[in-house]
């Protein structure tokens, strides 16, 4: 009896986590479709207008509105988070200075030989769709950009692009 209850609880938990993941993908797809600019254009805006060296970026729905969220290093070497409307890039929603940049972020940015938008372009050549998230990360000593793309089948696909040589890692 206890075994059946435990098995049912595990099955329910797995089902709910799967539902949450698909809801998140649906939200990201809805946000990307509603956005006035794509992720690469949004990154360009943040880098040129706000001087942010982006290490993480994503689009999502908040209060039924598409927004872009960024994390990066500003000119004062502070870790900064920015949020702005994906409908109007001039509409800043939030700016948060988190103090001195973490060494892991400054080291990653210094080591990366290709830019974040180049990584997105490379990933989109590999897997057609809409880029909805990207982050610069270290995977067992290999620096890479993890680019999440919603493909033609509305499936979330992660493409890993080596941040030093631009090759695709599966």
Give me the domains of the chain, ranges plus CATH numbers.
30-169 (3.10.450.40)
Q: What average pLDDT does the structure give for the chain?
A: 86
Residues 6+ apart with CB under 8 A from 70: 42, 43, 46, 52, 54, 56, 57, 81, 82, 83
Please, which pLDDT band fits residue 60 given cuts at 50, 70 and 90? very high
Q: Which pLDDT tens digit goes with each residue over 85-139? A: 999 877 888 899 999 999 999 999 999 999 999 999 999 999 999 999 999 999 8
Is residue 153's pLDDT more than 50?
A: yes
pLDDT value for 10 = 41
**Cβ within 8 Å of residue 145, ≥6 positions away:** 112, 114, 116, 119, 120, 123, 134, 135, 136, 137, 160, 161, 163
* Residue 20 reports pLDDT greater than 70: no
Evaluate if residue 4 carries a pLDDT over 70. Answer: no
Ramachandran quadrant class, 67 (left: phi over 0; alpha: psi -120 to 50; beta: rest) = beta
Q: How many C-alpha atoms does 148 have within 13 Å on its Cβ side? A: 17
For residue 168, the number of C-alpha atoms closer than 13 Å in the C-beta half-sphere is 12
Residue 50: is its pLDDT beyond 60? yes
Q: Are 98 and 72 in contact (CB under 8 A)?
A: no
């Amino acid at each position: 009896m206890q075994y059946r209850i435990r098995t049912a609880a595990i099955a329910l938990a797995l089902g709910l986590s799967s539902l949450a993941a698909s809801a998140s993908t649906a939200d990201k797809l809805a946000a990307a479709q509603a956005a006035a600019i794509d992720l690469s254009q949004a990154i360009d805006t943040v880098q040129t207008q706000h001087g942010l060296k982006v290490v993480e970026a994503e689009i999502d729905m908040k209060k039924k509105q598409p927004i872009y969220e960024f994390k990066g290093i500003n000119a004062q070497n502070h870790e900064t988070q920015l949020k702005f409307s994906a409908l109007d890039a001039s509409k800043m929603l939030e700016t948060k200075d988190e103090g001195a940049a973490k060494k892991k972020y400054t080291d990653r940015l210094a080591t990366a030989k290709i830019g974040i938008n180049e990584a997105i372009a490379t990933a989109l050549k590999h897997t057609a769709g809409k880029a909805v998230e990207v982050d610069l990360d270290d995977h067992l000593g290999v620096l890479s950009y993890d680019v999440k793309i919603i493909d033609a089948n509305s499936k979330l696909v992660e493409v890993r692009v080596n941040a030093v040589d631009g090759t695709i890692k599966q």
